[in-house]
Structure 1
Amino acid sequence: MPQLSVLLASLTGSPSPSLCPRCCHAAGSGEHWGTPPVDVLQALRFPSVPDGVRRARGICPADVAYRVSRPAQLSAPTRQLFPGGFPKDFSLLTVVRTRPGLQAPLLTLYSAQGVRQLGLELGRPVRFLYEDQTGRPQPPAQPVFRGLSLADGKWHRVAVAVKGQSVTLIVDCKKRITRPLPRSARPVLDIHGVIIFGARILDEEVFEGDVQELVIVPGVQAAYESCEQKELDCEGGQRQSPQNQQSHRTQRSPKQQPSTLHRPQNQEPQRQVRELSEPPTAAHPREGRHPDISPP
């Protein structure tokens, strides 16, 4: 534990925290109405392409994602992302593609005492970690979403909705699974620790793959509404420029105009481009770890 406290202090840039029992900081309490969404990738400086990260094509041809292919220092003090406290009920939204066969954390939030308070682990199965200031829920009651695999080398849209005593996982706008989350009535997460992307402190398992979006939004409405624009997301990437659209229309008679409610010509190329997008591989594996794993 002393080593862990020193490591946390180096990550947060603050003095080494005292090794006291779990406590509740005043800045981490409350309902946090009006708290804005937090773009975790922006806060962790992904757009500046730090060491271990490079730009890659996203889920749609026009999207930009970030490929994490070797150990990187992607962390920040939690209070910088949530100065008003971490919301009680929230949505976690991500668009992600992991290296095939991977089982690793996407995001982990530690308290000042080194307690893992929040985490999302991708792979087979998907695990959600939550522990409030009272230590609830205990490890045996931590939610596990069995029967799902997000380690197949494909893009996935993942939404997590945490509200009250339950957590709901929505994958690709098709699968929706709810699990109990027996936390306390007024749960609080300490914001005086650190938030880390793709790793856990003193753990060798790390994330490898592509991530396009990682956002935490107060309330659960964002998670349930995240699929409403799904069909339109890639349409913008395939849409022609206004000049090309005008030229294309002048070559058609009014009877030959395609219906605006049915776009079979746009849908098929969209699938082809998505299938041809390069999956994350172990082209730059970490030394000594799974050099022979490749996408199916």
Structure 2
Amino acid sequence: MAISFHLLIPVLDFHNLPDGISKTTGFCTSRRSSKGADVAYRVTKDAQLSAPTRQLYPASPFPEDFSILTTVKAKKGGQSFLVSIYNEQGIQQIGVEIGRSPVFLYEDHTGKPGPEDYPLFRGINLSDGKWHRIAISVHKKNVTLILDCKKKVTKFLDRSDHPIIDVNGIIVFGTRILDEEVFEVSVREKRATEKPEWHFRLLKY
């Protein structure tokens, strides 16, 4: 089962260009397979994008092992969450913080791991104002970050043997609930004429 960015775009209302969302030039200014530049969405601090997690998983639980893939250009020097998933009680269970030394926030139904044990990827700067391809893969008790298809770093994820992520809450894009810092980013959208290559997705192994 896969939930891809082409599904998140309509769920989060990108196409209707709500406040804080605009179209811009994407990762590549030209491609042999298509005319013109890639299309991306610019997300600013005025954006308020959220949707029930159930819209992504209407008939299945959240997968234990999954990957998050994205192509983004973060605001230089920024430090904020790209995406967050909250349970029904409003507790953040998954979060991807983009910036210097990015953090992968994960908290299962038992509260593991604690905040002091969230995986921290030191030596990686994702808020340098450049485009980056980022892959975060969660498998058993490890989380791996792959940057620009080259650099690979794996960290221990101290979660339960059979972790549960609640799908009765909401998914929030670009910030966390009550955060003052908002993620300002360009998110690439694949052209309809190109071969599938999704840049934000959750994959179940």
The one of 18, 25, 28 equivalent to 1:57 is 25
2:48 is matched with 73
Q: Structure 2: how far apart are the matches of 1:101 and 1:67?
A: 17
5+ residue gaps, structure 1:
1-34, 220-296
The offset of 1:41, in angstroms, is 2.9
- TM-score, normalised on structure 2? 0.87
Counterpart of 1:82 in structure 2 is 57
Determine which structure has the larger strand proportion and give its number.
Answer: 2
Q: 1:166 aligns with which of 139, 142, 145?
A: 142
Report the secondary structure of 2:82's partner residue: strand
Quick one: which amino acid aligns to residue 75 of structure 1? Answer: S
Structure with higher helix content: 1
The count of aligned residue pairs is 185
The percentage of counterpart residues that share the same residue type is: 51
What are structure 2's unaligned runs of at least 5 residues? 30-36, 189-198
Change (3 A) 1:168 1:210: same
Task: Indicate whether 1:154 and 2:130 are aligned.
Answer: yes
Q: Which has the larger radius of gyration?
A: 1
Alpha-carbon spacing, 1:199–1:114, altered in 2? closer, same or farther (3 Å): same
Match of 1:3 in 2: none
C-alpha contact 2:82 2:97 (8 A) present in aligned 1? yes
Report the Cα offset of residue 43 of structure 1: 2.1
Q: CA deviation at 1:217?
A: 1.5
Task: Find the aligned partners of 2:113 and 2:100 in 1 and give their Cα distance.
Answer: 22
Q: Provide the rounded CA distance (Å) in 2 between the counterparts of 1:159 and 1:121.
A: 13
* TM-score, normalised by the number of residues in structure 1: 0.61
1:45 equivalent in structure 2: 13
CA drift of 1:63 comes to 1.4
| Partner of residue 77 from structure 2, selected from 101, 111, 122 | 101
- Counterpart code for 2:147: V
Once the two structures are superposed, residues 253-294 of structure 1 have per-residue CA deviations (whole angstroms, 9 ceiling, x without a partner) of: xxxxxxxxxxxxxxxxxxxxxxxxxxxxxxxxxxxxxxxxxx
Letter paired with 2:184? E
Q: Is contact 2:72-2:131 (8 Å) kept?
A: yes
d(CA) in 2 for partners of 1:157, 1:43 = 22
* Displacement after TM superposition at 1:216 (Å): 1.4
For 1:215 and 1:102, the matched residues in 2 are separated by 23
Q: Following the alignment from structure 2 to structure 1, what is the Cα–Cα distance between the partners of residues 9 and 158? A: 29
Alpha-carbon distance in structure 1 between the residues aligned to 2:19 and 2:105 = 28
Aligned ranges for residues 174-253 of structure 1 at < 5 Å? 174-212=150-188, 213-219=199-205
CA distance in structure 2 between the partners assigned to 1:86 and 1:76 by the alignment: 15
Is the contact made by 2:44 and 2:182 (CA closer than 8 Å) also made in structure 1? no
The structure-2 alpha-carbon separation of the partners of 1:38 and 1:85, relative to structure 1 and needing over 3 Å to count, comes to farther
Q: Find the residue that maps to 2:103 and give its secondary structure.
A: strand
Contact 1:96–1:211 (Cα < 8 Å) also in 2: yes
